[in-house]
Structure 1
Amino acid sequence: MGSQDYKFEGWLGLDSDSANGKMVWGEFEPKPWEETDIDIKVTHCGICGSDLHTLRSGWGPTLYPCCVGHEIVGIAVRVGSKAEGGIQVGDRVGVGAQSGSCGACDECKNGNEQYCVKGMIGTYNGKYPNGGKSYGGYATYNRAPSRFVIKIPDEIPSHLAAPMLCAGATTYVPLKNNGCGPGKRVGIIGLGGLGHFALLWAKALGADYIVVIGRNSNKKDDALKLGADKYVATNDEENWVKENSRSVDLLVSSASSSKMPISDYLSLLRVGGTLIQLGVPEDGPLSVPARSLIRTGVNIGGSLIGSPSEIREMFDLAARKQVKPWVQERPMKDANQAIVDMEEGKARYRYVLVNEQ
């Protein structure tokens, strides 16, 4: 099938106002075709917080026009003669937040492509070495280098697989890398798209105890339904810090405000415990008082998405343990309304856009 047989069309952000539900449907030019590429007919695309940050140029100037969406699932319709991964036309595949790296540095060779020395190329708003620009999955088709195209296991339905490609991998990797499993006590800050995945993975990996920390109690029932042992509402419980002091080994934070009570969070860690930050605040740097680290010998770190090999490993776990994220499907044609609803915090807990054709 040649590229002339189908058109790359999608929801384009033309300026920062597009984040307010003002994306425009239009045609775009994907990266110039290389024989290592795969074209995907998009059936599903999850909505990620990063989409909104990018549409409004929240993390720096965006390369408009921009088509966002990096939780892409669809059918491979064109596979280059040098494509990796054994993918064939007709296979169900996905692409996460990354669709390029140098492939030659130590990080790339060791399966840490997301930390590529030359910089990872995002699935949207990125630039490829061949001069092309990356466009995401709020679209009819997506073109991506095969190294970053993942075959979706048969056991996982497309609407559930889509959000796993970014939100799922972003939370699975730090839990796995920090020893989440039997004998571990885990805390999760924020129950949103990322937080609810962190809870599902902590459960699937066999953590002994899981506490979810939110601002108010409106998500308590959901947290318990998803498998949490405890829910803490920081706005409603006066002594929450004291009552939960030194109660967990590992904290995963999806909060993305520089105003978060980081010292209070760190005091929830046992001696030598670790807080992993996933959210990237738009409103300035996150400052950590040295005393909070020194007092109990705790660590603070960060984690960025997941590499292709980590995403495959995550899918294996999801298939084995029947991990089912909470997903609400929305028609692709209603993408503008869906991003507004997402920004207003209405998603429970991940919106997935569905192409109807």
Structure 2
Amino acid sequence: MAAPQFQGWLGKSPEAINGKMEWGSYEPKKWTEDDVDIEISHCGVCGSDLHMLKSGWKETPYPCVVGHEIVGKAIRVGSNVKHIQVGDRVGVGAQSRSCQSSDCVDCSVGNEVYCTNGLVDTYGAHFPNDEGKSYGGYADYNRVNGHWAFKIPEGLDSALAAPMLCGGITVYSPLRQNGCGPGKTVGIVGVGGLGHFAILFAKALGADRVVGISRKADKKADVLKLGADDYIATDDDKNWALKNRRSLDLIISTVSSSKMPLTEYLTLLKARGTYIQLGAPDGGVLPPINAFSLIINGIKIGGSLTGTPSEIREMLQLAADKKIKPWVEERPLKDANKVIVDMEEGKARFRYVLVNENFGKH
């Protein structure tokens, strides 16, 4: 069936970040036979939502419905979509379309998330061919290109699966791409929504030692409970950089700060170690890096976006098989404005998931 009227929480100006989204109707992208309509039951709340609501990265094309950790039921499936059936429980992450051309240097080799010819974000972006604008998951319904709709494995709760579709895959992909597994020591900088996923997945992938790294000592008990083997509090542990020098093979940084002690983080890496930056500060500015920090240690610095469709499917299945349980707090969709304010104030431990009052129980 076709979805009824599309309605959701609309951010209409940067004031939306202050709990001033407005519930209303909007026009989704034009329907094509490549699309799937989803009746949304759950949507995770991501830090990207906050950046977008306040035009933190760039000017947001208001009105905007944020939310790109979507789980729900497929209620309409285009004839060109073969892997999804009406009634399937499906999820959508941060991307809603890529060009999928055999001539695309990225899509042709399975790197669709890095497509430069037609990648469309799940909210606040425009589809090609005048198909309209993308709207996210703080809403009743979502319309997505079928290539970016994923079946949720049996045994994986919808409230747990939702935040994996951005928060989870954002850390899972660089862990997999950079050799996280037996024999490796991994440091996770920033133990919030992303960082707590990184600890869970690093352990699930078999890393020998996982170290949580944050500013204050008050997170230590939670980080160890998540499964980390050790914890570094950079504000409270005296001489932390010197004491932990050359101890890590891989660092995944989820911190979005232009003032983080990046030089000290790099000293934690073993020779030929790797540092991957995930957090994106407003304006995109990171602390300066001294060239000798890289050269004399033989270390590599890189970045990572989210993950490819194949990685998302792999991650969801691993989560189901290993019974990975992120720490989530379910909140009603009707309270989305209060949830945004709480998220901005750093109250989440560690991820909020909005539950649609109409569809959240199936």
TM-score greater than 0.5 by the shorter chain? yes
Cα separation, 1, equivalents of 2:326 and 2:58: 30
The residue type paired with residue 59 of structure 1 is W
Report what 1:127 is aligned to: 126
The residue type paired with residue 28 of structure 2 is P
Report what 2:167 is aligned to: 167
Cα separation, 1, equivalents of 2:225 and 2:296: 35
The residue type paired with residue 139 of structure 1 is A
Q: CA deviation at 1:284?
A: 4.9
Q: What SS does the aligned partner of 2:138 have? A: coil
Cα separation, 2, equivalents of 1:316 and 1:77: 23
Report what 1:194 is aligned to: 194
Report what 2:237 is aligned to: 237
Cα separation, 2, equivalents of 1:333 and 1:221: 33
Report what 2:81 is aligned to: 83
Asked whether the equivalents of residues 57 and 284 of structure 2 are also in contact (C-alpha less than 8 Å), the reply is no
Report what 2:91 is aligned to: 94
Report what 2:334 is aligned to: 333
Asked whether the equivalents of residues 71 and 166 of structure 1 are also in contact (C-alpha less than 8 Å), the reply is yes
Bigger shift: residues 303-312 or 116-125 = 116-125
Aligned length: 354
Report what 1:39 is aligned to: 37
TM-score (normalised: structure 2): 0.96
Q: What SS does the aligned partner of 2:175 have? A: helix
The residue type paired with residue 122 of structure 1 is D
Q: What SS does the aligned partner of 2:236 have? A: coil
Cα separation, 1, equivalents of 2:229 and 2:30: 50
Cα separation, 1, equivalents of 2:190 and 2:118: 29
* CA RMSD between the two structures: 0.9
Report what 1:150 is aligned to: 150
Cα separation, 2, equivalents of 1:345 and 1:254: 14
Cα separation, 1, equivalents of 2:274 and 2:87: 43
Instruction: Give a deviation string over 1:109-146, Cα, whole Å, max 9, x none.
Output: 21111100225210000110132100000000000000
The residue type paired with residue 341 of structure 2 is V
Cα separation, 1, equivalents of 2:338 and 2:320: 32
Cα separation, 2, equivalents of 1:173 and 1:345: 25
The percentage of aligned residue pairs carrying the same residue is 63
Instruction: Give a deviation string over 1:24-73, Cα, whole Å, max 9, x none.
Output: 00001000000110000000000000000001001101110000000000
The residue type paired with residue 193 of structure 1 is G
Unaligned runs of 5+ in 1: none
Q: CA deviation at 1:336?
A: 0.4
Cα separation, 2, equivalents of 1:65 and 1:45: 19
Find runs of 4+ consecutive structure 1 residues off by over 2 angstroms: none
Report what 1:348 is aligned to: 349
Q: What SS does the aligned partner of 2:143 have? A: strand
Q: CA deviation at 1:289?
A: 1.4
1:182 equivalent to 2:182? Answer: yes
Report what 1:54 is aligned to: 52
Cα separation, 1, equivalents of 2:37 and 2:283: 37
Cα separation, 2, equivalents of 1:227 and 1:72: 27
TM-score (normalised: structure 1): 0.98
Asked whether the equivalents of residues 71 and 95 of structure 1 are also in contact (C-alpha less than 8 Å), the reply is yes
What is the aligned counterpart of 2:26 among 25, 28, 37? 28
Distance 1:119 1:278, change over 3 A: farther
Bigger shift: residues 167-176 or 123-132 = 123-132
Report what 1:292 is aligned to: 293
1:205 equivalent to 2:202? Answer: no
1:287-326 equivalent positions in 2, closer than 5 A = 287-326=288-327
